[in-house]
Structure 1
Amino acid sequence: MEKILIVEDNKTLAKLIARKITETLKFEVDIAYTLQEAKLFLKAYTYFITLLDVNLPDAPHGEVIDYVLSKKQHVIVLSANVDKEFRKKILQKEIIDYVIKGGMDDINYIIQTIDRLYKNKQHKVLVVDDSMVTRKHMKTLLQNLFFNVITVAHGEEAIGMLETHSDISLVLTDYNMPVMNGLDLTREVRKSYTKNELSIIALSSSEDSEINAMFLKHGANDYISKPFSKEEFSCRINNTVEARENLNLVTNHINRDYLTGLYNRAYFFAHMNDYRDEIALSPETYALAMINIDNFKMINDTYGHETGDNIIIHLSEVLISTTNYRDMVARFSAEEFCVVLKNVNRFSAEDIFERLRKEVQKSYVLSDNGKEIQFTISVGVTISGEESLQDNIDQADMMLYKAKQEGRNQVILMS
């Protein structure tokens, strides 16, 4: 479990913040009341975040900030000092944020900030700017917010990077660049990625107000004018990433099965109809399989529905691990799944589904009392032709029925 260090001489406030963090977030919290105590903790541990008071009994002028930063720790400053010049001076240091110690709203803001920073670790950001100084500056700011960062010098390099790094969440692009400028890059990216799939923030020092509008019209999620403050930059980046997460959460709720996280039946049909349209004029074929857990009712009756749910979850994990990221895996009903292997022939499909069947047969799930529960699946497969999608499903269902009738735990392909 990761740890947070609070350095605050107000013991009541320090304990309140610590309690709120442990109740809300999955972190262990250490508390130091002086710089000397903080040094002892930092000698023993590495922290995810350090929350530092500016004025301590043995460090009254913010010395703790420079010391903790020298130890390569991430810092959020807590202060009762509302002087703008002092605040500006502190923000020039490599800290994450400067939070005024006021009341519960400020403590809640700290909790939300820590949660946001922890989630940022899952995101990869691509910075596109022809200025090496600017790239380095933005990389430092983003890494301080816990993002994984890649930097390139112009739009053409960015396109290549997006092709090799499918997990990029956010693109930050300058406007004026050689080879391909930021606006052209935005247009090009939006041909392949929607706003739910990839966020774009444009940056420019141009005083032309139309540039802002042009970026937003052509698919940018936000626009930042240069020069920008650290706080504006952080807020806009975090807000953009959070908006995308929230949108994906809603979309997943609609498209995903609640138990397994696999796609549901409705999304399967929508996706497969689009896919069939894409390959209509090509020789590409796919294999469609209907998969059913053998004797599932007996498993539920014998071991209980919780064990049955665990078997369904386990099977879904095997299906995902056995198939390619381009393939489609969906849960159709309680114990029935549909898997589509894209761009495969009959022999490859048979080999993959047979390997899947064997993988399931040798695996097991633990019951409530620790007993190893093994199970098997029956698989019916058809290879696509000129038939409709529903015809493909019906054909696979017929093969599944045949597999059940002939003894279960087997794969049967339609001849």
Structure 2
Amino acid sequence: MHSRHVLLVEDNAAVQRTLQRMLEEDGYRAICAASKQEMLRILANEEPETLLACLLDYCLPDAPEGEALPELIARQIPTIVLTARNDLATREQVLLQPVVDYIPKENPSAYEYTLRMLHRIEHNPGTRVLVVDDSSAIRGYLGQLLQRQLYEVVEASNGETALNQLVNDPGIRLVLTDHDMPGMNGVRLCSEIRRFRGPGEVAIIGISSSQDPSMSARFIKAGADDFLTKPFNHEEFFCRVTRNVEYVENLQALSRAAREDLLTGLPNRRHFFESVQRQPPPHALAVVDIDHFKHVNDNYGHDIGDQALRWVGSLLSETFGHEHVARFGGEEFVIQLSADLPLAQTLEAFRLRVASAVLPTSRGDLQLTVSIGAAIGPQEVNILLKQADEQLYRAKQAGRNRVSLQ
């Protein structure tokens, strides 16, 4: 897991307290300094890789013209510059250096935006951005800007190469494409991308130096999410990239919420039904219930109960495959099995695995058992689940910690 230690360099005591409180409320650990000298003392005792980032006040008592910034850049510490100076010369001087961002303090939402950028520093590593341009110099320039915010950059010199990369790499979350390229232009590339990658999978920003006033509309109508006119300033570039990456992430989060159980991360009831009903019969379904789960909650607490649910969910996922299990609610889980499997032996092996395992908790070791009811046949999913439920009831009536099949 990456570090959540943030170096906060700010000489204004009120501002430092406010930022420190906000950071700590958000789960970060703030390491504070009020001058360049204090900052250097901290850095002498702190390995750069132990810091997630630095929030740096540009004007410090012993470094009034940003003299602290080169020290951070030399150590390759991702740095967000905050300053009360918002003149154009200072802004340009800062943004010429490889900082993550430049945030004027005069903005009422400056601190909230700062936290937002810290979140990006955490999540951008591994987030891939595809830069498409026939000019290697432009690709390099855009790549350098993206790497300031720790994105992983991949490049393509033409539309055909870009399409191949998108087909082979479903992890690409953003495409930046120039319009004027030999062969396939940027607008056509957008149309081709949208044939197989929707807005919830990848965002597209079109780029052009054309003075044609319809260029942005042409990109948007072809499937792009945004447009930049060359030349653009660094801040506009960063803002548009951040907004579009977050848009894709938010759509993906909504999609996950619609199909996943929030506690265990397993598929939920709705997703499970949709998955099973897409497959031809016969089906084999099993209902798994944790025995005496109320006793766990009453004697260990609901936090340990939640831990137990996650643990059983992980065992199910490891044994049967993530897409073949679901949490239906409470302490009840469902498994979809191959109708060709020896059902009784397979489920008995899982029951024994749970019964023989120990879950370490903050309140001592916990041992659990499960009861399982199963049914197999060509019937509709609802009917099979009802039959499996009836078998589960029989297993419980017979003393629990056993498997019952139709």
**TM bucket by the smaller chain?**
0.7 to 0.9
Q: Which amino acid aligns with 2:357?
A: S
- Give the equivalent residue in structure 2 for 1:376: 370
Q: What per-residue deviation string (whole Å, max 9, x for no partner) do you get for residues 48-104 of structure 1?
A: 222223333433332222232122222222222232233223212211222223376
- Give the equivalent residue in structure 1 for 2:203: 199
Alpha carbons 1:263, 1:329 under 8 Å: kept = yes
Cα separation, partners in 2 of 1:156 and 1:75, compared to 1, 3 Å: same
**How many Å separate the matches in 1 of 2:196 and 2:282?**
23
Alpha carbons 1:360, 1:377 under 8 Å: kept = no
Q: Which of the numbers 312, 316, 339 marks the counterpart of 2:313? A: 316
Q: Which amino acid aligns with 1:31?
A: A
The Cα RMSD (Å) is: 3.6
- Structure 1 residues 14-413: aligned runs within 5 Å: 14-34=16-36, 36-45=37-46, 46=48, 47-102=51-106, 105-121=109-125, 123-178=127-182, 180-273=184-277, 275-276=278-279, 288-297=284-293, 299-300=295-296, 303=299, 306=302, 307-324=304-321, 327-340=323-336, 346-347=340-341, 356-366=350-360, 369-378=363-372, 380=374, 382=376, 387-394=379-386, 396-397=388-389
* Post-superposition offset of 1:202: 2.6
Identity score, percent: 32
Q: Which runs of 5+ in 1 are unaligned?
A: none
**How many Å separate the matches in 2 of 1:330 and 1:346?**
20
Alpha carbons 2:371, 2:395 under 8 Å: kept = no
TM-score of the pair, normalised by structure 1: 0.80
TM-score of the pair, normalised by structure 2: 0.81
Q: What per-residue deviation string (whole Å, max 9, x for no partner) do you get for residues 371-398 of structure 1?
A: 3223235252547x6x544355456556
**How many Å separate the matches in 2 of 1:64 and 1:304?**
51
Alpha carbons 2:131, 2:142 under 8 Å: kept = yes
Q: Secondary structure at the match of 2:363?
A: coil
Q: What per-residue deviation string (whole Å, max 9, x for no partner) do you get for residues 180-220 of structure 1?
A: 54444433433333322332323333444444334323432
Q: Secondary structure at the match of 2:68?
A: helix
Q: Which runs of 5+ in 2 are unaligned?
A: none
**How many Å separate the matches in 1 of 2:70 and 2:197?**
42
* Post-superposition offset of 1:235: 0.6
Q: Secondary structure at the match of 1:130?
A: coil
Alpha carbons 2:174, 2:202 under 8 Å: kept = yes
**How many Å separate the matches in 2 of 1:121 and 1:14?**
28
Q: Secondary structure at the match of 1:332?
A: strand
* Post-superposition offset of 1:234: 0.8
Cα separation, partners in 2 of 1:259 and 1:111, compared to 1, 3 Å: closer
* Post-superposition offset of 1:231: 0.7
Aligned length, in residue pairs: 400
Q: Secondary structure at the match of 1:197?
A: coil
**How many Å separate the matches in 2 of 1:88 and 1:246?**
32
Alpha carbons 1:25, 1:115 under 8 Å: kept = no
Alpha carbons 1:380, 1:401 under 8 Å: kept = no
Alpha carbons 2:287, 2:333 under 8 Å: kept = yes
* Post-superposition offset of 1:407: 7.4
Deviates more, 1:327-336 or 1:250-259: 250-259
Q: Which amino acid aligns with 1:227?
A: P
Q: Which amino acid aligns with 1:290?
A: A
